[in-house]
Amino acid sequence: MTNQQPAVNPETQELLARVYRIKEGLHYEVRDGVVFVITEQNAWIQRVLRKIHYKIPETSEMELDKYGSFILQQIDGKKTVAEIGENLGAAIEEANDQLYDRLLIYLHHLEKNEKYIELV
């Protein structure tokens, strides 16, 4: 696949020009290239159950797949969505199928649902 981008409408250009950063307070670790997002298990019911000796861990980890791991590591507050997409396509060949459609949906999910990232 070539790196030339087809002509895109202004709305799509605006989406591809977006820059994201990781939200302050997001805890994650990278192990062998795989990102693990670490979340505190600190709801009041979890604290109560721990006090009565239920084995509830204080944190949980969510392992991202190779695409998610790559994308989250690319988000630095400087790279545009277009640049992240180019890097993803170059690093993982099979990601090129509907690359920007899927990337934009995933970034939207990370921003709105998971609240891991935010627009700069």
Q: Sketch the domain layout of the chain as residue ranges.
A: 10-119
| Residue 17 near residue 84, CB atoms below 8 Å | no
- Taking residue 69's Cβ as centre, other Cβ atoms within 10 Å add up to 19
Tokens for 72, please give them.
């989250």
pTM: 0.84
Cα distances (angstroms) measured from residue 6 to each of 11, 100, 115: 14, 12, 31
| Residue 16 near residue 100, CB atoms below 8 Å | yes
- Taking residue 74's Cβ as centre, other Cβ atoms within 10 Å add up to 17
- Digit-by-digit pLDDT tens for the chain (120 residues) are 455 555 568 888 999 999 999 999 999 999 999 999 999 999 999 999 999 999 999 999 999 999 999 999 999 999 999 999 999 999 999 999 999 999 999 999 999 999 999 999
Q: Does the 10-119 domain belong in CATH 3.40.50.720?
A: no
